[in-house]
């Protein structure tokens, strides 16, 4: 049987043991208390689509800001 282990990196619960009972173990751990430093073989972890959207938006905005800064620099030199 697999057992839960406290992760020293994130303070959440990871797993130890053979790796064949991770699905049962994953279900027994409270939401948000799962250690994601190691993969959970056999467990389907739903990805939060909202966080992905936020990351994409932030990256686009950052790129636009950088582009404007370069344009301003160019104007100063001309
Ligand atoms: Zn096991
Ligand atoms: Zn961890």
Report CA(34)–ligand 2 centroid distance (Å): 8
Ligand index nearest the alpha carbon of residue 38: 2
What pTM, to 2 d.p., does this model score? Answer: 0.58
Residue among 6, 29, 8, 31 nearest 16 (CA): 6
d(CA 19, CA 26): 11
* Torsion over CA: 54, 45, 12, 9 (sign): negative
pLDDT over 90, % of the chain: 54
Ligand nearest to the CA of 22: 1
Task: Give the ligand whose atoms come closest to the C-alpha of residue 35.
Answer: 2
Name the token pair of 62.
Answer: 């950052």
What is the mean predicted confidence (pLDDT) over 30-44? Answer: 94
Q: Which residues are within 5 Å of ligand 1 (an ion), measured at CB?
A: 1-2, 17-18, 20-21
Q: What is the mean pLDDT of the chain?
A: 83
pLDDT number for residue 57: 60
């Amino acid at each position: 049987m697999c057992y839960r282990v406290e992760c020293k990196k994130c303070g959440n619960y990871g797993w130890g043991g053979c790796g064949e009972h991770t699905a049962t173990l994953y279900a027994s751990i409270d939401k948000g208390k799962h250690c994601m430093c190691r993969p959970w073989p056999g467990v389907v972890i739903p990805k939060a689509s909202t966080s992905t959207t936020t990351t994409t938006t932030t990256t686009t905005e950052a790129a636009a800001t950088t582009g404007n800064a370069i344009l301003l620099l160019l104007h100063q030199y001309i």
